[in-house]
A and B are shown apart, each in its own frame.
Chain A
Amino acid sequence: MSSIDALRDPNPSGPAFIRHIGAGNVILAVLLILYPAVASDFFLTQIGGYTLIFGMIALSLMLLAGYGGMVSLAQITVVGVAGYSVAIFGENSSDVMGFGWPWWIYVPVAVLFAAIASALIGLIAVRTEGIYTIMITLAVATAAFYFAQQNYTLFNGFPGYAGLRAPEVFGVNWRDPLPFYYLCLGTASICYAAVLYGAQSTFGLTLQATRDNQRRMRAIGYNTTAHKVFAWFLSGAIAGLAGVLLVWFQGRISPGTIGVGAAVNILIIAVIGGLRHPIGPFLGSILVVMMQTFAIDIVGAERFNTLIGLVFLGVVFVSPDGMLGLWEKAKPYLKQNSLRPDP
């Protein structure tokens, strides 16, 4: 991985880059804020909200994989920790657990639990590298799925929990399509901005340097294990926020939400989008959510997974860096700046 940040490399002069990215982000923000003016309720929630939520989950993976070089298949498990926390500490209609805490207590608790769970998974996973990290996190995800399915006292087993609702706050019902869309947009924007800022922070540089050369990092005084575990903690906080939104959106959580299929889905979203920049997971999320929603209409209910698989293969075959890589390839043709000296 020769460059951290696909959108930064061509122009090493800092302030110009910040202005450039700022402009892009401002346009993006305006478009997303105006999106409800043209979108139906279906497009606001089933497409918009869903894309933002899964984009956040994939972002939590991008943080680990892109900056940290640690590919995790357990992100959906972390989402599940937050989701089940909402069901257990908040209200549900399943007559199991449901402490009925107010949202402003159970949301921070759920996110904190998710972050701690992620850090614990990280504590195990950082002892390994590459494919072994994937295997260990897959094992964690699988174990968590079966445990949730078979445990009734805490997870209510197969049916899981239903009747989970976003609260009414400030007189706004956050379950309604428009407020819920803006809630997702706001949360996703905060996470995206935090990752974008954090990538150039001292911790962000530390993480990327550890990815590039762990041995050297130790030889300049860093306890690399501690830094990596902290990256898992931050990643878990993002996945946890997404988890709270996800169960509010779906109104329920069951073992199926955190199954192996769902775990792989997150990896597909992140890889299709690209792991080199935090916008990648959201691009991948748009494509996958659109396909999952509309592929049935195009190729029928029996073949829609085939279509998704083929598109995935197509993107990865053409560009190993996903949709971000496609953009990088297309840029010289779109702009007249191909005279830029090659790095």
Chain B
Amino acid sequence: MALLSENTRLSSTGSYALEMDGVARHFGALVALSDINMKIAAGERRAVLGSNGAGKTTLFNAVTGDFDCTYGRIRFFGEDITTIPAHDRIRRGLRRTYQISQLFDGLTILQSVYLACRGVSRRRFSLLRPRDRDANMEQARSILMAVHLYDDADLQVATLSHGRKRQLEIAFALAGAPRFILFDEPAAGLSPTERRDLVAILGALPSHIGYVIIEHDLDVALRVSEYVSMMHNGRVFKEGTPEEIENDAEVQAIYLGDGHG
């Protein structure tokens, strides 16, 4: 794919989008994450692989502030965001999708994405109804166009199929001006056709927007990433290019051997 040849990771100006420095997360006695040191350049596309319980989603939750990390520091484009609230991290350009769709069942698709666009603008609070030509409304429509939901804009979210809900998750991540996106298993439960659409959507992202993608489907993961981090038992135990990871014996034993391949 085009992404593989366009190695923005090396062409970046040396600034990192995301730096994790000794990040750990404990749930009581359970160590979900320990000593994560990850540096991801602006514009880099990174895949995080690992079996269930490896700590991938916990890593995302720590970065977005869904919960605090127990130890360590997190920097976002050089700024320490370890202790700032989740919504402030989002306003700084961080975006995420959830493994289990987190949507607004009572709203329509368009209303949902409109709120996402408003949430990162300065006019997020208004007692007026949005006008049809509202800038955020327009942006919401163009995002829906990009994720193939435009024709369903007025459908109630509660009535959507699984595939549409996953597309809406992606739409949330594209709202406003994202600088870096965390995709948590965006392909989970999608049909082969929908997976192809997903790969195309990821490929069409502007090259300055980097992302981390958690993906069990190696076929998707290795096609949309330039670099791969393998996690196991809360630690990163191997990093490399997709080719290196695919051919690594240890990786195959732990990851491919447990039935996900």
Contacts and interface: CB of A to CB of B under 8 A. Distances in A.
B119 interface: yes
B25 interface: no
B105 A2 contact: yes
A227 B91 CA distance: 16
B156 A216 contact: no
Contacts of A212: 103-107
B175 interface: yes
Interface in B99-114: 102-108, 111-112, 114
Contacts of B111: 205, 209
Interface in B115-137: 115-116, 118-120, 123-130
Interface stretch (A112-120, A217-225, A283-291, A312-320): A217-225
A219 B90 contact: yes
B104 A215 contact: no
Contact of A218 (B87, B120, B124, B156): B87
A224 B155 CA distance: 25
A4 B119 CA distance: 20
Interface in B123-176: 123-130, 154-156, 158-159, 172, 175-176
B107 A209 contact: yes
Given A3-B158, A212-B103, A223 B127 contact: no
The majority secondary structure among interface residues of chain B is loop
Interface centre among A1, A200, A211, A220 (most CB of B within 10 A): A220
Interface centre among B102, B103, B106, B119 (most CB of A within 10 A): B106
A208 B65 CA distance: 22
A41 interface: no
A276 B79 CA distance: 44
Nearest to A197: B129
A9 B107 CA distance: 10
A12 B107 contact: no
B104 A221 contact: no
A343 B90 CA distance: 33
B114 A216 contact: no
B66 interface: yes
Contact of B129 (A201, A216, A221): A201
B199 interface: no
Interface string A1-13: 1111000010011
A1 B66 contact: no
Nearest to B112: A209
Nearest to A206: B115
A222 B128 contact: no
Interface in A75-107: none
A230 to B, nearest CB: 8
Contacts of A153: none
Contact of B128 (A1, A4, A202, A206): A202
Contacts of A216: 98, 102-104, 172
B82 interface: no
Contacts of A167: none
Interface of A: 1-4, 9, 12-13, 197-198, 200-203, 205-206, 208-209, 211-213, 215-224, 227, 230, 343
Given A208-B104, A220-B172, A222-B124, 19 more contacts: A2-B106, A3-B106, A12-B155, A205-B107, A209-B104, A209-B115, A212-B105, A213-B104, A216-B102, A218-B66, A219-B90, A220-B115, A221-B116, A221-B124, A222-B87, A222-B115, A224-B87, A227-B125, A343-B156
